[in-house]
Homo-oligomer: A and B are copies of this chain.
Amino acid sequence: MGTAEPVTPVGQAAEGELRIGWAARSMPVLAGIAERFARERPLDGLRIAACLHVTAETAVLLQVLREGGAEIALAASNPLSTQDDVAAALRERGIAVHARAGADLQTYYRHIHQALDIAPHLVLDDGCDLVNVLHTERVELLGDVVGGCEETTTGIIRLRQMAAEGALRFPVVAVNDTRTKRMVDNRYGTGQSTLDGIIRATNLLLAGRVVVVAGFGFCGRGVADRARGLGARVIVTEVDPVKALEAALQGYQVEPMSRAAELGDVFITVTGNRDVIRAEHFAVMKDGAVLANAGHFDVEIDVRALRELASAVRHGVRPNTDEYVLPDGRRLLLLAEGRVVNLTAAEGHPAAVMDISFSAHALAAAWLVTEGRGLPPGVHDLPSAIDAEIARLELAAAGVTIDTLTPDQERYLRSWRLGS
């Protein structure tokens, strides 16, 4: 099974290998798992279809899965994030990669179909598009599938909805919901890389700016913390009163978007919902306001409404920055066309972040092989022991030692009869 893309020059593959090598240095947990997989071959003879961002870190994961014995086909989960040099390097290594930077929507879905052609036993997804295609257009392949892993919050929402409607046909591990992944990826990874993307795109000084963060989930709180850490005054918007209360207790100003729109210098959406910033908000924003989306899909800022409102659009006033001029002269700056700004304007998560997330994928894949047949269709948590193992490996790699319980302490925690 070959790739549909034209042959890639050697030079590009070499550049891709350089990137992959760099990423691998910051992925010590996955390196440890690779050693174990090479020894134990837990994925021997299995076929995996993956729909993931085609980046150097993904390449490191795929290599680990191959060490474990798997055959792999890869499609891109977002055409804008595809690193063509990495794709080239992977092809040279013999992995079927169906992806090209900037592919259009039709090509995007064609690539997913091509990845599914491998007739997978396991699927790795990032946003649920591959699982969706599998359940709607490639149902003939469902029989072989033992289980899957899903990377994103958005994907989990869609999968739970499928499960609630009885449409999901195999068990999926919510890699996104593991404690380590949530913590490292959603919070610290998205936090740093989102601000990184905004700074690369605009070179704005954030100290003293009013940054509006829409959404205070794991990702939103990471973004808010980093914006504050860079000296910004942060305003949070939310629809969930519990999250809104937490934001307030952390000293953030909480406002509805209708009010925040008047106050913000920079807006960052990270809600998992659509139209979080829309026409009524553009109408009251300050001249020069910057709009960025850190959510998975490009629906959080209503770009269509912005385009309709604007009397002129200047593309590329900075890299990844378009300027929308409103009839009254105010200029709004849309980053990355409203697509996920950390992947488009920066380099996505640092490799150290993906090390955690992809270690969960690798261990979840091995776990599904032994346990998957016994699991009902639906969204499943990764066993917490696997989660703890990832954290333990990560701490060890950083040279951090922690305490262990003494026998007395273990006994104490087990006993409920001891009182005041």
Residues of A near any B CB (own CB < 8 A):
18, 21-22, 25-26, 78, 105, 108, 127-129, 132, 157-159, 161-162, 179-180, 183-184, 187-189, 191-192, 196, 199-200, 203-208, 225-226, 228-234, 237-242, 244-246, 248-257, 259, 272-276, 286, 288, 297, 299, 317-318, 347, 349-353, 387-388, 391-392, 394-395, 398-406, 408-409, 412-417, 419-420
Cα-based distance from A406 to B402 in the complex (angstroms) = 38
A394 → chain B closest CB, angstroms: 6
List of B residues within 8 angstroms of A180 by Cβ: 242, 245
* Residue contact A248 to B318, C-beta cutoff 8 Å: no
- List the B residue with the shortest CB-CB distance to A163: B416
* Residue contact A241 to B402, C-beta cutoff 8 Å: yes
* Residue contact B207 to A192, C-beta cutoff 8 Å: yes
List of B residues within 8 angstroms of A159 by Cβ: 416
Choose one: B391, B394, B399, B420; the contact of A78 (CB below 8 Å).
B420
Choose one: B238, B245, B250; the contact of A403 (CB below 8 Å).
B238
Number of copies: 4
* Residue contact B231 to A206, C-beta cutoff 8 Å: no
Q: Answer whether A233 and B252 are a contact pair too, CB < 8 Å, given A273-B405, A405-B239.
A: yes
Cα-based distance from A250 to B191 in the complex (angstroms) = 12
Cα-based distance from A409 to B161 in the complex (angstroms) = 15
Cα-based distance from A388 to B327 in the complex (angstroms) = 36
* Residue contact A402 to B239, C-beta cutoff 8 Å: yes
* Residue contact B403 to A239, C-beta cutoff 8 Å: yes
Cα-based distance from A129 to B162 in the complex (angstroms) = 45
- List the B residue with the shortest CB-CB distance to A234: B251
Cα-based distance from A180 to B350 in the complex (angstroms) = 33
* Residue contact B412 to A274, C-beta cutoff 8 Å: yes
